[in-house]
Amino acid sequence: MRKIYLLVILTFVASILLFISSFVYLDRYNHKTYHYNVSIEGQYAGSTRIDAFITEERRIYKSASSLPFNELFTEEKSRLDLSRDYELQDYQKELSANGAAYKFYLENKNGSISFLCRGQSRFAYLGNIPIWKKTFIFEEDSLLTYLPIIENYDFKRGGSQGFNSRICFPYKFIPPLKRFVTLTSIKDEYLKIDRRKIKTENLILKIKGYPQGSVWVAKSDRSVVLLEIPSIGLKFTRSFIPKELKPKERVIKNDAYISKDISFGGKTNQLAGTLTVPKKEGPSPAVLLIWGAGPHDRNYMGLFNSMADYLSTNGFCVLRFDKRGVASSGGSATSVTPDDEYGDLVWALNYLASQKDVDSQRIALIAHSEGAFNALKLASENNNIKKIVLMAPSIYPEGKISEEYLRYIAEKWKWGEDYVSLVKMCEKETAGKAGASTHDWGYIMGKRCYLKNMRPDASASSAAINSVAASVLTLTGKLDDEMPSQSAEMIDKALADSGNQDHSIRCYSYLGHFLGKKTSDGIYRTFYEPDKEVLVNIKDWLNVPVKEPAKEDISLTGAK
């Protein structure tokens, strides 16, 4: 009898173990995890983890990326939900930088998609965008979006196979773009990954108007082993031993000046920055550095700390600071308006002028990209600003897309008229959402959005330009792929038309948007180093005495 009891107990235990093991097996089958190391231009940039799940109703893909070497966005999280037969349900992505976040959402309802992008205090929305059946989401730098497309590639048939897709721009505030993705199998190849030799099939990725890429897929389980896009220097490599590297802090020290961490502003919005002061007797001329659009800190991706070092070495006090709600500055980045940002710059200008080491009659502004609008506005309202340097300037404030700029981008990226119309419709619908409520905050697609910042701005950029009496130097790069040269020309013409006689443009044939070199060395976070000739030109121009308006000789006039 004891043997029978023992046999029953053993059978029961075995059944339980078999039951549990079946769930473990199913979980392994329905949940797969992949790790990748990311490199940019041959240097390690970070790592990505991708999880793929299959449930009774959906296919779910999640990714979490740590990109500590990136110049701005250092964390990324994505989630893509598809039906079992790969129909798009939802897509969302979050990009983090300096304590601020950009969030992107797509939602499929009844065969059309709605789009929402939120970044700092801005948003863009467009609903009821028609899509093809089985449309895939694609981003060239997001490995997550490659997986469903590769899973739908028929490896038995091989050759070239095409897929309808929507190209997403998670931080550009424009709706997804319709594109046709083609995968072509060309050869089998063995790759060595973390001492493992893996047999792969090499696929060529082609999209009209986009860089060509190569994907290597494991023959055993069709997982991505390697992805390369040579034209932008991007590479994802499968890893069974993920790297964990941390960039060193890039600190520029120079005995020619004193560097001070400072704070200024209101009680609830204390702003943090750095003031560099030359070691010399008496007050010095000063410069306030003004960043472009985005959640930027005082170093502005390396551009500003390099400029501050050079200018302070050559006798200038330089102030740079973190934007409101970014890095060490107080306040909220999610509810800041253009007027708030301008007010913060006024605080910075007043702080700079109040320092005993600063010659308050010799303060200059150096602004990059969209920062040009604020620089011109500051100069139009402050006669003590005698000089302005505009680097790759935009005549429009952040969030305002001009017809000229839209056409420039459309031509550059080969957008069709249908997509240009879609972008315009997005602007109109975004403004409509913001204007439909008198409240500062509202919900769109179930997400809380700051409405106030997206309402029509009564201030015009031309009004600021027409009132600028300061001397203006505009610098552009012929290789600038972000800002059309017409923007600088429009500013220069507007200054001339307003009667300002002290303005000039310099164009550097070998430089791009940041007028310097982008450095990714795998040691420090990626940074921009301003070109030496640009720095020398700025310094020499700042040192030239300001032209005083000609004064009428009263005595001579009286003699006549």
pLDDT in tens, the chain (560 residues): 555 655 556 565 555 555 454 444 434 458 999 999 999 888 889 999 999 999 999 999 999 999 999 999 999 999 999 999 999 999 999 999 998 999 999 999 888 999 999 999 999 999 999 998 899 999 999 999 999 999 999 999 999 999 999 999 998 899 999 999 999 999 999 999 988 899 999 999 999 878 899 999 999 999 999 999 998 899 999 998 777 788 998 989 899 999 999 999 887 889 999 999 999 999 999 999 999 999 999 999 999 999 999 999 999 999 999 999 999 999 999 999 989 999 999 999 999 999 999 999 999 999 999 999 999 999 999 988 999 999 999 876 655 666 777 887 888 778 889 999 999 999 999 999 999 999 999 999 999 999 998 886 544 455 678 789 999 999 999 999 888 777 888 889 989 999 998 999 999 999 999 999 999 888 999 999 999 999 999 999 999 987 665 444 333 333 33
pLDDT given at position 244:
79
Q: Are 210 and 219 in contact (CB under 8 A)?
A: no
pLDDT given at position 484:
78
Could you give the CA distance from residue 413 to residue 164 in angstroms, rounded to a whole number?
18
Q: Are 324 and 341 in contact (CB under 8 A)?
A: yes
* Burial of 279 from C-beta contacts in 10 A (0-12 / 13-18 / 19+): exposed
Phi and psi dihedrals of 11, rounded to 5? -65, -40
Torsion of CA 510, 513, 515, 520, to 10 degrees: -90
pLDDT given at position 243:
77
Could you give the CA distance from residue 199 to residue 193 in angstroms, rounded to a whole number?
11
Q: Are 407 and 372 in contact (CB under 8 A)?
A: no
Could you give the CA distance from residue 225 to residue 359 in angstroms, rounded to a whole number?
60
* Length of the chain in terms of residues written: 560
Could you give the CA distance from residue 332 to residue 316 in angstroms, rounded to a whole number?
31
Contacts of 446 (CB under 8 A, 6+ apart): none
CB atoms within 10 A of CB 8: 10
DSSP letter, residue 325:
T
CB atoms within 10 A of CB 207: 17
Q: pTM value?
A: 0.88
Of 244, 154, 166, residue with least CA distance to 422: 166
3-state secondary structure of 160: strand
| DSSP run (H or E) holding 557 | helix 554-559
CATH numbers and ranges of domains, the chain: 30-238 (2.50.20), 257-400+459-543 (3.40.50.1820)
Q: Are 91 and 80 in contact (CB under 8 A)?
A: yes
Could you give the CA distance from residue 243 to residue 236 in angstroms, rounded to a whole number?
13
Torsion of CA 426, 430, 431, 432, to 10 degrees: 100
pLDDT given at position 552:
41
pLDDT given at position 517:
95
Angle at 544 between CA 286 and CA 467, to 5 degrees: 70
Token pair of 397 as six digits = 């404030």
Of 203, 252, 249, residue with least CA distance to 229: 203
> What string of DSSP letters covers 27-93?
HHHHEEEEEEEEEETTEEEEEEEEEEEE-SSEEEEEEEEE-TTSSS--EEEEEEEEETT--EEEEEE
| DSSP run (H or E) holding 374 | helix 371-381
